[in-house]
Amino acid sequence: MKEYQELSREELSALHAKLSGEYEEAKAKGLSLNMSRGKPAVSQLDMAMDIFDVFDSSSDMRTESGVDTRNYGELTGIPEAKRLMAEMVGVKAENVIVCGNASLTIMFDTVSRSMTHGVLGSTPWCKLDKVKFLCPVPGYDRHFAITQHFGIEMINVEMTPQGPDMDMVEKLVSTDASVKGIWCVPKYSNPQGYTYSDETVRRFANLKPAAEDFRIYWDNAYAIHDLYEDGGDSLLEILGECEKAGNPDMVYEFASTSKVSFAGSGIAALISSRANLEQMQKTMTLQTIGYDKINQLRHVRYFKNMDGLRAHMMKHAALMRPKFEAVLTVLERELAGAGIGTWTKPRGGYFISFDAMEGCAKAIVEKCKEAGVVLTGAGATFPYGKDPKDSNIRIAPSFPTQEEMAQATDLFVLCVKLVSVEKLLSQKD
Amino acid sequence: MKEYQELSREELSALHAKLSGEYEEAKAKGLSLNMSRGKPAVSQLDMAMDIFDVFDSSSDMRTESGVDTRNYGELTGIPEAKRLMAEMVGVKAENVIVCGNASLTIMFDTVSRSMTHGVLGSTPWCKLDKVKFLCPVPGYDRHFAITQHFGIEMINVEMTPQGPDMDMVEKLVSTDASVKGIWCVPKYSNPQGYTYSDETVRRFANLKPAAEDFRIYWDNAYAIHDLYEDGGDSLLEILGECEKAGNPDMVYEFASTSKVSFAGSGIAALISSRANLEQMQKTMTLQTIGYDKINQLRHVRYFKNMDGLRAHMMKHAALMRPKFEAVLTVLERELAGAGIGTWTKPRGGYFISFDAMEGCAKAIVEKCKEAGVVLTGAGATFPYGKDPKDSNIRIAPSFPTQEEMAQATDLFVLCVKLVSVEKLLSQKD
């Protein structure tokens, strides 16, 4: 394929006419597809329906330690659920608190608590003039929304296939005491699907923060969400690395089963050092008498252990992989060599990240929407919703069927081409 | 019975010798009973086990509006759960957000949000020099713990059988703009079991707060928790009264099924004006993608409506009533006319409030503990854990069996007598 940049004005005009025609035809089809959010498909949710056979009216609702999960108590979660979540991320159960249904809530509460009460005795952030977070970009919009809500200044850090630009991270963290945190999705990052390299994790663990209350917000959302059967990408376990590096309290890790069992009805965990967990427990004991232990027990009785989790996730993979591949096949066939876009080829997670020519993302998303395909809003993957290059688009293949994904991607590449041609034509004016 | 105060030194000494002997005998029995917390009994939890037959692997998990409860969405709760919780407290479904498993979490988050973001556009409380809450006393320790955690100054307000001393409430709320809230358990109050009179509710609704961000924190924890079949105490619905009084945004109401289905695995609701709910939704959307809708649907399918809830609560009443009566019978038999204690006779809720002679509560609780009966710590029913008269003790009859309650109360009255005699003797020194 000839690169679009090398086409003459006449060739571009002819291409524009052709693509416009195709776009009008596509619009006439009246598509109605949504690939905006990392939402599980119905068939994927169906795979966990057996979980409702775990309990009936005659079930024994006690934990292995004899605690009645139907009553108050066990603020930090039942032992067997701690063990399950610990296995999921490769830590000891003593480093886990199992909470409610959403890791996002734990993250929000962690930032909120730091605002009102500080971190292990530090000054509450609401008493400080300036608090900053580093935000690897593109990244997860809901992370950025939390820090924005609390008036925390966000600083973009470039992502690479090995993780965030660690030169920049090290420099900012070690010199600026107002930098209190960094948002990370270390495995199958949102939206690229990158997994941080061992070197990146070690450099994180060896940071020398200027601020004693600096923490790494390690959102291990896709810890076991592989698309391929070979075990997937491997991520170095950070708690252990931090301990080795003499920074045992530097990381808050978050995980959940929202994309394992049910979105919104799973269990979520906070993983950290004993010192951090003990501080958090002091607040938790005011915030709740306990999380939903019945749902914790339900998950343990159903998944049992890491083998059970893995087996279940391989069923997901069998369903998700063709959807990802449907997207990648169309992108490859239609855009390879055209010089108007690059994209990632994840081996897990929920997203594909697409970078269009500069200044084209908003127009592409708009054009897709007009023809019935909803994508994540352009800019959403950046703090304050501002993509400085207006280039990044997040593709979420999980919810539609494989056929719908192929259809939606056909439209997507058409819009990429059309907008790119318009951009190139306008540059020749 | 002769009042203890009228006894001579000799009579008191003789009584002390007799009671001490009885106490040593009681201690020798090696009791191990706990009436410290409002914890449901096992037999009460067993009554809701059928709820696990509601779903199995073939269940239709969609709401009446067709929403799949297993997936993301419906931040404010599923429509039928809103309706159920609305019926429970007598409001419209549009005034309800159904959240997670604990109303305590909603209360904590509401105060936390006011600290960091203010109330409907007011200055965030963390930016103010002084924030105060009124605390009807004795009251619920976990309310006081939340306000203490956020450095909010707590002011004691005397409780009466009709509710808080409204003269004092009106005066403080209308003259002091740093008073931002009041904690209320309006029906079957914790610990007295008092229900606010219609006049009290109307005076609340007609408050003229000096602070625009003043709110009534209306913890309707025992809305349907009657002990008798005649329908129980009736509480005037406050949202409607506030609206009539031109104060539509002045109340945040909280309710849950923690003591209807399962403690820790129920559903909880926030009830307020549309303006308040809309502000809260803006934060909620950052804090969670949604609460556990499957558990919401489970509750609706099981309880169906107010009739279902009432029928279930009558089963609880049949179990709870004898326990309350066991306590009251012993108190009446052993202490009536002795002038060393007064107590409440609730028609619902989870507690009985006992007032010993001044300066005796701590010693009574201590003596009970030594002999194997754990009560709520003396002072716990007051802000900062400080009962100025050292007089109030909360009795929680729900968890032990009826026989255990009678045994525990026997020991309790013995300790009351013993400590009272010691007190009277020391006054005669």
Q: What is the DSSP letter of A125?
A: G
Residue B178 at interface with chain A, using a CB cutoff of 8 Å? no
Residue B68 with chain A: CB contacts under 8 Å: 42, 45
Closest CA to B119 of B308, B286, B277: B277
B32 Cβ contact list (under 8 Å, min separation 6): B372
Residue listed under structure tokens 């499957």: B294
Residue A410 and residue A371: Cα distance in Å, rounded? 12
CA distances from A419 to A18, A340, A370 (A): 13, 10, 13
Query: Helices marked H in A216-348 — which ranges?
Result: 238-244, 274-287, 293-303, 306-335
Asked if the A4-44+310-428 domain carries CATH number 3.40.50.1820, the reply is: no
Quote the minimal CA–CA distance from B158 to chain A in Å.
24
- Select from A37, A57, A145 the Cβ nearest to the Cβ of B53: A57
Residue B296 and residue B298: Cα distance in Å, rounded? 5
Do B52 and A57 make contact, defined as CB atoms within 8 angstroms? yes
Q: What is the DSSP letter of A41?
A: P
| B103 → chain A, closest CA residue | A288
Strand partners, A158: A137
Do A100 and B100 make contact, defined as CB atoms within 8 angstroms? yes
Question: Which of A59, A63, A116 to mutate to probe the B interface, most B CBs <10 Å?
Answer: A116
pTM here is 0.97
Residue A1 has pLDDT above 80, yes or no: no
Residue A263 with chain B: CB contacts under 8 Å: 70-72, 289-290
Residue A178 and residue A60: Cα distance in Å, rounded? 51
Residue B75 at interface with chain A, using a CB cutoff of 8 Å? no
Label residue B90 exposed, middle or buried (CB < 10 Å: 0-12, 13-18, 19+): middle
CB A242 within 8 A of CB A208: no
- Residue range A16-68, pLDDT digits in tens: 999 999 999 999 999 999 888 889 999 999 999 999 999 999 999 999 999 99
- Residue range A114-125, pLDDT digits in tens: 999 999 999 999
Asked if the B4-44+310-427 domain carries CATH number 3.90.1150.10, the reply is: yes
Class in CATH terms, A61-304: alpha beta
- Where are the strands (E) in A171-293, listed by range? 179-184, 215-219, 251-256, 268-271
Joined together, the tokens standing for residue B38 give 């409002």
Do A116 and B100 make contact, defined as CB atoms within 8 angstroms? no
Q: Residues of chain B whose pLDDT is less than 50?
A: none
Which residue type sits at A48? A
Closest CA to B356 of B373, B374, B338: B338
- Select from B145, B288, B295 the Cβ nearest to the Cβ of A265: B295
Quote the minimal CA–CA distance from B66 to chain A in Å.
13
Size of interface A-B (CB pairs under 8 A): 167
Do A102 and B39 make contact, defined as CB atoms within 8 angstroms? no
CB B275 within 8 A of CB B248: yes
- Number of other residues whose CB lies within 10 A of the CB of residue A17: 11
First to last CA, chain A: 24
pLDDT of residue A250: 98
- Residue range A333-347, pLDDT digits in tens: 999 999 999 999 999
Residue B35 and residue B41: Cα distance in Å, rounded? 11
CB A61 within 8 A of CB A294: yes
Do A50 and B68 make contact, defined as CB atoms within 8 angstroms? no
Residue listed under structure tokens 């090995």: A162
Grade residue A428 by pLDDT with cuts at 50, 70 and 90: confident
- Select from A70, A72, A101 the Cβ nearest to the Cβ of B292: A101
Joined together, the tokens standing for residue B264 give 């820790």
| A261 → chain B, closest CA residue | B70
Residue A112 at interface with chain B, using a CB cutoff of 8 Å? yes
pLDDT of residue A228: 95
Quote the minimal CA–CA distance from A54 to chain B in Å.
8
**What ranges do the domains of chain A cover?**
4-44+310-428, 61-304
Do A264 and B52 make contact, defined as CB atoms within 8 angstroms? no
Query: Helices (H) and strands (E) in chain A — how many of each?
Result: 13, 13
CB A132 within 8 A of CB A152: yes
Do B70 and A264 make contact, defined as CB atoms within 8 angstroms? yes
Residue B269 and residue B267: Cα distance in Å, rounded? 7
- Residue range A147-194, pLDDT digits in tens: 999 999 999 999 999 999 999 999 999 999 999 999 999 999 999 999
Strand B215-219 to B179-184 pairing: parallel
- Residue range A182-228, pLDDT digits in tens: 999 999 999 999 999 999 999 999 999 999 999 999 999 999 999 99
| Residues 261-320, chain B, touching A (beta carbon < 8 A) | 262-265, 283, 286-295
Residue A37 with chain B: CB contacts under 8 Å: 72
C-alpha Rg value of chain A to the nearest Å = 23
- Residue range A389-427, pLDDT digits in tens: 999 999 999 999 999 999 999 999 999 999 999 999 999
| A53 → chain B, closest CA residue | B56
Which residue type sits at A15? L
B180 Cβ contact list (under 8 Å, min separation 6): B114, B119, B125, B131, B132, B133, B152, B211, B213, B214, B215
Measured in degrees and rounded to the nearest 5, phi and psi for residue B232 equal 75, -175
- Number of other residues whose CB lies within 10 A of the CB of residue B145: 18
- Residue range B349-361, pLDDT digits in tens: 999 999 999 999 9
